[in-house]
Amino acid sequence: MSDKHIVSGFDRDLAAIETSVAQIGAMARDALRDAITACLERDRDLAAQVKTGDHALDRLEADTRLATIKLIALRAPSAVDLRFVLAVLEICAHLERCGDYAKNIAKRSTELGPHAQLAGTDRALLRMSQSVGQMLGDALAAFLDRDVDKARAVIASDLETDHSYNSLFRGLLTYMMEDPRNITAGMHLHFVAKHLERIGDRATGIAEQVIYLVTGELPDDDRPKADLTTPPAPSAG
């Protein structure tokens, strides 16, 4: 019982969902950009904006997820359309987590407020933030363009993100060991680095969904990980 009217209604629903995903993605990228600024510049007002923005992101994501589920119930999609709705659900979840990580990064601006900046690591954090922001943008572009090559490139770049994290981890340790007054700031910045690394993982997860969407197969789950934050040998007191 093919009915052009029904198919085009379904297509409109799918297009609307895709637009929402793009919108949530843009919100997540903006949140990340503002969050790292708020954190490194100890800007509490900007941090408050990120928090408010995250509420909006969460609401849009919940609405989109619900609309997708309802579409499944209404249209009982199969094959490519089913893969699309499944991928959308996964991508939405990844983006919601990215928003949360950004909010947590911004929140640290308050805890870091009284502390001097650890200039070397601030630069490294900013670079890492720009890098994972780029991964996120590329993953979303890959989704909108159904671009498997771009998705694979995002997945490959996650190894570099892990290396940046390891590097930051070690750098922060040296600041903390040099001077106990750096320990608290070092702690919070460690968490920021970890959140950035997790955003990179999420961008990678989105890219994997793109590959699933286009090819019907998830890429091999065991992608190389390089979180080698093993401790240096303790120095004598």
Give alpha helix (H) positions in the chain.
4-40, 44-75, 79-112, 119-145, 148-178, 183-215
Residue 231, interface with a copy of itself (CB under 8 A)? yes
Binding characters for a copy of itself, 193-222, by CB under 8 A (x = yes): -x----------------------------
Residue 156, interface with a copy of itself (CB under 8 A)? no
Q: How far apart are CA 218 and CA 210, in angstroms?
A: 9
Q: Which CB sits closer to a copy of itself, 62 or 145?
A: 62
Residue 88 identity:
V
Stretch that binds a copy of itself, among 1-9, 45-53, 182-190, 205-213 (CB under 8 A): 182-190
Q: Which CB sits closer to a copy of itself, 224 or 232?
A: 232
- What is the nearest approach in angstroms of a copy of itself to the Cβ of residue 44? 12
Residue 79, interface with a copy of itself (CB under 8 A)? no
Residues in 56-75 at the binding interface with a copy of itself, rule: CB under 8 A: 66, 69, 72-74
Residue choice 187, 212, 214, 226 for contact with a copy of itself (CB under 8 A):
187
Closest CA to 102 of 168, 161, 31: 31
What 180-186 contacts at long range (C-beta under 8 Å, 24+ apart), as own/partner pairs, is: 182/115, 182/116, 182/118, 184/111, 184/115, 185/112, 185/115, 185/116, 185/118, 186/118
Angle of helix 119-145 relative to helix 183-215, nearest 10 degrees? 10
Stretch that binds a copy of itself, among 42-50, 142-150, 169-177, 209-217 (CB under 8 A): 169-177
Residue 77, interface with a copy of itself (CB under 8 A)? yes
Residue 224, interface with a copy of itself (CB under 8 A)? no
Residues in 105-144 at the binding interface with a copy of itself, rule: CB under 8 A: 110-112, 114-115
- What is the nearest approach in angstroms of a copy of itself to the Cβ of residue 141? 25
Q: How far apart are CA 27 and CA 179, in angstroms?
A: 38
Assess contact for 199 and 106: CB atoms under 8 A: no
Q: How far apart are CA 133 and CA 164, in angstroms?
A: 14
CA atoms within 13 A on the CB side of 33: 11
φ and ψ of 99, to 5 deg? -60, -40
Q: Binding residues for a copy of itself, per CB under 8 A?
A: 66, 69, 72-74, 76-78, 82, 85-86, 89, 93, 110-112, 114-115, 169, 173, 176-177, 179-181, 183-185, 187-188, 190-191, 194, 229-235, 237
